[in-house]
Amino acid sequence: MGEDVYVRLREFMDTLPVGYPATPTGVEIRILKKLFSPEQAELTVKLKSEPEEIPAIAARVGLEESELTRRLEEMAQKGLIFRVRKGNKALYQAFQFMVGVYEFQLKYLDKEFCQMFEEYLPYLGMSFLPVKTKQMRVIPVESAVGTAHAVETYNRVRELVEGQKTFSLQQCICRKEQGLLGKKCDRPQETCLAFGDLAQFYIDNKWARAISKEEVLRVLDLAEESALVLSPTNSQELSAICCCCPCCCPILKYAKLMPRPAAMVQSYYQAKIDSELCSACGQCIERCQMAAIKEGEDSSEMIEGRCIGCGLCVSTCPTEAISMVAKSGMEAPPKDFLQDTLQRIEAERWANQVKAKSSVA
């Protein structure tokens, strides 16, 4: 098989929703070699991007069902592909690198992999940042919208959780990665929540522990207390909630460096300061994760384009001078992440590529 199988795997993964672009340094091939054996790479390129039962895959790849089941289950447990359980049946599919295979490496991270991932991030970002639909979005902490009227269910984090039945809690992979690189973060480590099929995948693979709905709500309270930004999947039905900090989360880290972080992060709200109520205490300036607030002459002031609508400033304002204001013209997020959101991203990404090719021609 040799080098060619990894090139073909790279090309195949680039067809998945977020893509997997080539680089001048070849770091993307080095990552694949670290994760996949040649045999696993060869099998992956024969999978589809939607879940399939073993008989359908076996007929296509020419393997006995028992042997195929053994191989696919081994790959699923290593986080190289995704598994969905429907009753007593296991269905398998190829899955994108991020959010996906990278996050599935939670228990297998080492310094070498982290260094390669950091090298690859800028190239990967160029693949998915131009796409209109984002994989993740920012939702206000509950106390920021708790008493507000006409807040859609998909923007109330506790109501989103109420609709779920399976919950898991795992270590934040971003903080683990930064710790392995010698940049340990002092925020809580076990804050990543998953729901439904994704939660079951983590639980079955022993990467996360099953928790109750009440424990989920306690984690959300801890996140708000620790000034973590709530970043759920960009869908009306939850698949995951990341509790993010800008020192570790690559999306927030790069967004904070930009003059207008709000242009990079999907959110439905932005903060507004009532100068008449503001006491200019400065608590909101310290609390803000995007440096979106500055000192004014008589009150704190918002900086245009920097607020990402997390609501952390609202929850600690002693004079209740800050409120969340809904952005106008926002469309509801897709219904389901694993299907609708990723399909929309894939369609937009390919449309962008077609447009780019036609403009060159």
> Are 29 and 118 contained in the same domain?
yes
Helix (H) or strand (E) holding 65, with range, is: helix 65-77
| Residue 352 covered by a domain | no
Are 193 and 250 within one domain?
yes
Residue 313 falls inside a structural domain = yes
Q: Do 86 and 204 fall within a single domain?
A: no
Q: What span, in angstroms and rounded, lies between the C-alpha atoms of 9 and 82?
A: 16
Q: What is the pLDDT of residue 117?
A: 98
Answer whether 308's CB lies under 8 Å from 261's CB.
yes
Whole-number pLDDT of residue 355: 79
* Residue 247 in domain: yes
State whether 252 and 296 are in the same domain: yes
Angle at 21 between CA 18 and CA 24, to 5 degrees: 160
Assess whether 55 and 112 both reside in one domain: yes
- Predicted local confidence at residue 111, as pLDDT: 98
pLDDT of 350 reads 87
CATH number at residue 60: 1.10.10.10
Residue 153 and residue 151: Cα distance in Å, rounded?
6
Does residue 348 lie within any of the structural domains? no
Same domain for 288 and 149? yes
pLDDT of residue 309: 97
What's the domain range around 234? 142-326
Same domain membership, residue 292 and residue 211: yes
DSSP for 331-353?
A: PPPPSBIIIIIHHHHHHHHHHHH
> Is 152 in the same domain as 86?
no
Domain assignment present for 331: no
Are 158 and 96 in a shared domain?
no
Joined tokens for residue 138: 């920012």
Q: Which of 128, 151, 166 is the last residue of a domain?
A: 128
Asked if the structure places residue 356 within a domain, the reply is: no
Predicted confidence at residue 13, as pLDDT, reads 97
What count of other Cβ atoms lies within 10 Å of the Cβ of residue 255? Answer: 22
Does residue 108 sit in the same domain as residue 192? Answer: no
Question: Are 96 and 26 in the same domain?
Answer: yes
Pick from 106, 128, 150: which residue ends a domain? 128
Question: Is residue 147 in a domain?
Answer: yes
What is the rounded radius of gyration, in angstroms, for the C-alpha atoms of the chain?
21
Residue by residue, DSSP assigns 8-22 as: HHHHHHTTSTT----
Residue 222's nearest CA partner among 252, 243, 253, 246 is 243
The answer to whether residues 216 and 277 belong to one domain is yes
pLDDT at position 2 is 59
Chain centre distance of CA 83: 18
Work out how many domains the chain is built from and give that number. Answer: 2
Beta pairing partners, 269: 326
pLDDT tens, per residue, the chain with 361 residues: 557 999 999 999 999 999 999 999 999 999 999 999 999 999 999 999 999 999 999 999 999 999 999 999 999 999 999 999 999 999 999 999 999 999 999 999 999 999 999 999 999 988 877 889 999 999 999 999 865 667 898 999 999 999 899 999 999 999 999 999 999 999 999 999 999 999 999 999 999 999 999 999 999 999 999 999 999 999 999 999 999 999 999 999 999 999 999 999 999 999 999 999 999 999 999 999 999 999 999 999 999 999 999 999 998 999 999 999 999 999 999 999 999 999 999 999 989 888 777 776 6
3-state secondary structure labels for all residues of 71-93: HHHHHHHCCCCEEEEECCEEEEE
Q: Is residue 134 part of a domain?
A: no
